[in-house]
Structure 1
């Protein structure tokens, strides 16, 4: 069975539109997910390890898992962070002043 030119165009256009909608929904949901977490501003002398030390000690989280999570969610290419950088860390906002540890893995 040979498809007409109009049918091929319709299927192609439908595929492109469906792909765009799926891409937009996945992008939007990942952004909303990160809004649930605490955002910090990197201070002079901070490293991923020093931030991991602060969180890991109080929340009993593996430091390597913490650093991997932060690097992944913040799309860090290297472990270098600079004062003024904003990082999302795996502490979920429960309400304005209370936080709970997020699932890291």
Structure 2
């Protein structure tokens, strides 16, 4: 089963980290996938692990990673008109923005 999906910003690339666990075998597995910083995308795993649905939407909201084949990448944490990706290290938090 999927325990967690994390996205790490290394400025020149993103690393998607999948934490999987087998209860039967009492083992945890960590899988890492690198994607380019510009135009990051990789196949969705939401059809394999339904728990990935919200994790992928969160990574899409905060980092701009596109999960190909995902059924619904609509905003999960941010409002639809939000501009930019606040999870990225390059995001300027100090700039004032009106709602």
Bigger proportion of residues as helix = 1
Task: Name the structure where strand makes up a greater proportion of residues.
Answer: 2
Calculate the TM-score normalised by the size of structure 2: 0.24
**Using CA pairs below 8 Å that are at least 6 residues apart, which structure has the higher relative contact order?**
1
Return the TM-score normalized by structure 1: 0.23
